[in-house]
Amino acid sequence: MIIHNETVAQTGEPIGKAKKVLVMLHGRGDQAKNFIHLAKELTLPGFAVLAPQAIQNTWYPYSFLAPLSKNEPQLSLSLSGLSELMDDLDGLSVQKKDIFFLGFSQGACLALEFCARHANRYGGIIAFTGGLLGDQIEMGSYAGNFQQTPIFIGSSDHDPHVPEERINESEEILSNLGAKVTKKIYPGMGHTINKDEIDRANAILNRTFDPSNAD
């Protein structure tokens, strides 16, 4: 599978036989072939795992808090690449309720932004340190209804790239779009992924997530 002349890294079940699909979006400067190794930490029975590659290893050139226009045209290219991937999965008769998204940092921001612009009943969305894009969040960009799609957003209380205020704003908007959002801020974690986040991701991926027990 190729998106924008970049090979999509794959692992897990063959895409034509898989019951569910996890789309993994790497962070700035990383590569899909490296980030997809995180799948080894996840419990993924019956999953095909797809990791698109960002052009020049970057989904957009500037901070996710920059004006949207400043991150063009690469932001639109990245979003259209995900749309192309979704079209390919639709052509393979993969239902949106069986598609999950997981991203870290810049990839988490892109996953949330794409899904908010195309809100639907997805399997789940996991954002390790990310929020919606723009110097100001443009509500007119978002459409649809998540229909209680579970979304997890985890981050540090002093992350150098993603301020807690933007995570809070994103949580409110995603909730208003019909998502079941769980946010977890970890004291002093740094810009990384911890074991608790992996456990919460596995709960969503295996549909054992119970929002009534979330904190």
**Per annotation, catalytic residue among 26, 78, 155, 159:** 159
- Between the two ends of the chain, the Cα-to-Cα distance in Å is 38
- Between CA 180 and CA 176 the distance in angstroms is 9
Structure tokens at 17: 């036989």
The kind and range of the H/E element at 126 are: strand 124-128
141 is catalytic: no
105 is catalytic: yes
How many CB atoms within 10 Å of residue 61?
13
**Per annotation, catalytic residue among 78, 105, 155, 170:** 105
Structure tokens at 173: 């908007």
- Between CA 47 and CA 67 the distance in angstroms is 36
Nearest partner of 28 among 66, 4, 54, 8, judged by Cα: 54
69 is catalytic: no
Q: Give the catalytic positions in this structure.
A: 105, 159, 191
